[in-house]
Structure 1
């Protein structure tokens, strides 16, 4: 089989080499994807796919979670392509597309290259059936690129967007490598006493319930109620299939509607503003746009979910507390619920963020508190759900995981409903715990800067349309974020972008990108270089907020953005700014 970047593999399971059929000859192996729900998402380039990234420790973590691998030698061999081929004899792929069983599916394995990450590594493409039968690819019959560095990603490509399927990927091992076989697990019993006890453990604090009970009472009276969600990729719905209806946000909204709404009236509104890979540092910038919808929405309940995104928050909790205060200060007195999600390594930032909830008496729900302790138990000891069942990858929940998150919020709603109402409201006239410097944050972009700032765009005159997409609310389609941007397109001149603005704080939001035609830009504030903005530091298309200055009083500043030396002919996109007067 010949393989390179320009001549892709085109071998079906029937045409390709098969694994030994004799059970006695069956090789030891482990799953890296096990019976996982997948969805064909339109990628904007004519491809409809579900992707799993493998670089860094992501492949190792998939092996730990889906395959139960604990052998450190085997895990270390997954770090690079040489070790992968030393360990892996063949790959078994199963795809079951249900109603779309006749669909064409292509299994893709990409290695990142040493010379050019996305261009010089092997790209393996294997057409396979969608009827659940196993297709085998023998690795010793592939002409691997000599420039292969590390495993990059796996993808399943479909003919049409929206196709739902389940997929499994098994790595069969060379002798003498062996792993313990992972047995199938029983479905999670959501009616069991152990399940309900697990859900009850999620309630960190019911908090001051006056605002949440007021929203519940409105819903019971048949009045209009809006429940909104802001957070990262978990709130966006990553891991849920289909994303827009099986995510925890939509499922908990439905639970609230069933519990308190009038079935004869459509009076409970759902707003979802999750955006992958972003912290509360960006959440406080986009709150007015994505949740208040420019003043057209007035949420009664806002769930804030940044407990696994805020490791990169430069303000160390100031933006998170500021966001909570920004919401709480609204005239209609909305309830704020803090939701603490969790990663596969049992980590989140609950210890940093929960004190803010205690400080203001906010209801708090912790998925970590619910599931982590029982992860360590065997079924006979009270285990309800395994990590393989809960996690879609090392960051995001499966449909079962999203259901648990929704049930944790449902439990808070139920506890609040049957509790006596607190007499006094939340006290906001007290010093902040960490800080409130960004509570008045507003978004500035190309559509609204007039009258706020003076801008000379220089060479940043183009508009970038290749933006991070996220399904908002219950929409099945992605909405581009920060469309009113300034882009240096490489051929639009070398002059700097210069902005004069009077403000106390300023956050720049720029576009990260994995594309090689994007380059770095220097950010200068008042004649001094503040930072170098590198869109390849994170290396995928998403919105990156960075703090340029934070001061006690508002004054005039000049911000200059220019392409770094040697990058003058490359691209860079200024998505917008967050500012406080």
Structure 2
């Protein structure tokens, strides 16, 4: 296998014996360009940075990173046959700190036709860490008739937490052509034009009494805790390193710099973002992940679910319930609503912002700050492009996370300048969408004794292969819902039974990409209400589903049993959310 400097043999680079005259460089486009990557621990295999390509992921990368507008070319990326028709070769380059000279392996994995994760071909090659391009000529590689679509790229490291910069370019066969990538100047963060963008983010200043109270406490040297709850953006996805470059940590630092005393040691940080999950799960895990079972009393809570709540079955009821749950705690914390945005300019601001206005909460819109100027050319005043802001179609880059942090910092500084409102928030009012889940509590193996009667049946195991998230300022992942009930292939056929008195009940079960997991039928009072399929999202992930929602509290019998054809497979009950 060749790269542009020599030959790779056994992971080492040797110089060419007789260098050829330069070949004409093929036309091509980037799907990853000068992108920060970070080694994350995996349940199987080495620490890696994974880049998923199925669905529209690869097409969107070609469109937004590579600047491809030709629909014929984009359509060819939709499957392996079209990909090989279009792409002549793949150029991969990785560079890292000169002191870290170990190669990083590049993996291209195709999803299979018969078994998605098992029958497609995989290609793995070592990449030198000095930025040299490794060239993979497609006709020289072994492919499989089972290859359906490109599944993922991965960069495999030796140690968790290692960082690098990577680029991937697709060189095209003759007959296909795309515009050459125009290299953009760095974002002018210190410019007046950038500062003007940030001012557009203040969607609603809201009642400032609680936020100013927290600011005054900080200035006086009292302990102040700022907490963040949300989805993958709050977790830090796209930021490298994830625990220090994410918007949550960066905005905490801004608050600390603005108002902390004696080096800011009195300002404390709590982060609880869980990727791919809505406020429907957030309202269940708030006491555990933010309040830490009563050991933490946050003064400010930033709530960020504007791009996650499409999956909320209640279409806003859980979001409003979560806000009320936070606002109603005894220490009266400030709640800040943060509206992030996807690459296609989508979020749920129109659905959720009326809740903020009704309760007069401070609201910050990243969408309002950046989306308008994305449409401008550099000559028209564009400050940062989508390529600079977005790591992928969902998550921000380090620059994007900085923008989000600056938007929150602008709210903090503007609030500090204003007079304090005399009256507190009015919470006792008719809900905008609903407040049925404000009293939701977590029920799991650790807490079930006081909440209901349980017969575990064949669900006697404990699953340890769980969704892991980087909490607080930790670089490592913490497992979500560790006190669970698991049915395994070797379990008996007896069902899980729960008798509980409650108004509402939400089941949280584990999604998985493993073929070892199967479906379970969920019955309430003898009636089948849902068949839970752990392959609905096909990755290790927490999935909430409402089993019932009533106006009054009644005793119910809940039964969970494997569907007959999946009795020899696994299923994990992560927990329940209940409201008495």
TM range (shorter): over 0.9
Which digits, 9 at most, give the CA deviation of each residue in 1:445-501, with x for residues without a partner?
001100211000010000000000001000111100100000001111011000000
Note if contact 2:521-2:563 (Cα within 8 Å) is conserved in structure 1: yes
Note if contact 1:13-1:135 (Cα within 8 Å) is conserved in structure 2: no
Aligned length: 573
Which digits, 9 at most, give the CA deviation of each residue in 1:123-175, with x for residues without a partner?
00011101011110000111210100000000000112111110000000001
* 153-162 vs 251-260, greater mean Cα deviation: 153-162
> Structure 1 residues 23, 344: CA separation in 2 closer, same or farther (over 3 Å shift)?
farther
TM-score (norm 1): 0.97
- The equivalent residue for 1:169 is 168
* 46-55 vs 147-156, greater mean Cα deviation: 46-55
Note if contact 1:38-1:164 (Cα within 8 Å) is conserved in structure 2: yes
Q: Superposed, which structure 2 residues align to 1:32-47 within 5 Å?
A: 32-47=31-46
- The equivalent residue for 1:4 is none
Residues in 1 aligned to 2:223 and 2:503: alpha-carbon distance in whole angstroms: 37
Which digits, 9 at most, give the CA deviation of each residue in 1:369-423, with x for residues without a partner?
1111111111121111111111111110000000000000000001100011111
Which digits, 9 at most, give the CA deviation of each residue in 1:82-136, with x for residues without a partner?
0000000000001011244411211000000000101110100011101011110
Note if contact 2:98-2:130 (Cα within 8 Å) is conserved in structure 1: no
| SS of alignment partner, residue 37 of structure 2 | strand
- The equivalent residue for 1:68 is 67
- The equivalent residue for 1:309 is 308
- The equivalent residue for 1:207 is 206
Residues in 1 aligned to 2:43 and 2:142: alpha-carbon distance in whole angstroms: 30
Residues in 1 aligned to 2:425 and 2:288: alpha-carbon distance in whole angstroms: 25
Q: Superposed, which structure 2 residues align to 1:230-379 within 5 Å?
A: 230-264=229-263, 266-379=265-378
Note if contact 1:521-1:562 (Cα within 8 Å) is conserved in structure 2: yes
Residues in 2 aligned to 1:401 and 1:39: alpha-carbon distance in whole angstroms: 17
* Deviation of the 1:429 alpha carbon: 1.2
* Deviation of the 1:264 alpha carbon: 4.4
Q: Superposed, which structure 2 residues align to 1:93-492 within 5 Å?
A: 93-264=92-263, 266-492=265-491
| SS of alignment partner, residue 575 of structure 2 | strand
| SS of alignment partner, residue 389 of structure 1 | helix
- The equivalent residue for 1:543 is 542
| SS of alignment partner, residue 320 of structure 1 | helix
Which digits, 9 at most, give the CA deviation of each residue in 1:217-251, with x for residues without a partner?
00000001010000000000000000000000000
Note if contact 1:203-1:366 (Cα within 8 Å) is conserved in structure 2: yes
What's the Cα RMSD here? Answer: 1.7
Which digits, 9 at most, give the CA deviation of each residue in 1:417-439, with x for residues without a partner?
00111111110111111000000
Note if contact 2:229-2:272 (Cα within 8 Å) is conserved in structure 1: yes
Which digits, 9 at most, give the CA deviation of each residue in 1:48-101, with x for residues without a partner?
110100000000011112101111111110010000000000000010112444
> Structure 1 residues 114, 66: CA separation in 2 closer, same or farther (over 3 Å shift)?
same
- The equivalent residue for 2:86 is 87
- The equivalent residue for 1:570 is 569
Mark the runs of 5 or more structure 1 residues left unpaired by the alignment: 2-8
Residues in 2 aligned to 1:99 and 1:289: alpha-carbon distance in whole angstroms: 42
Residues in 2 aligned to 1:23 and 1:175: alpha-carbon distance in whole angstroms: 18
* Deviation of the 1:24 alpha carbon: 6.8
> Structure 1 residues 25, 258: CA separation in 2 closer, same or farther (over 3 Å shift)?
same
Residues in 2 aligned to 1:198 and 1:266: alpha-carbon distance in whole angstroms: 31
> Structure 1 residues 383, 417: CA separation in 2 closer, same or farther (over 3 Å shift)?
same
Residues in 2 aligned to 1:267 and 1:274: alpha-carbon distance in whole angstroms: 23
* Deviation of the 1:44 alpha carbon: 3.1
> Structure 1 residues 276, 10: CA separation in 2 closer, same or farther (over 3 Å shift)?
farther
| SS of alignment partner, residue 55 of structure 2 | coil
Which digits, 9 at most, give the CA deviation of each residue in 1:5-62, with x for residues without a partner?
xxxx987695899xx9866721110000000001111113341110100000000011
> Structure 1 residues 50, 488: CA separation in 2 closer, same or farther (over 3 Å shift)?
same
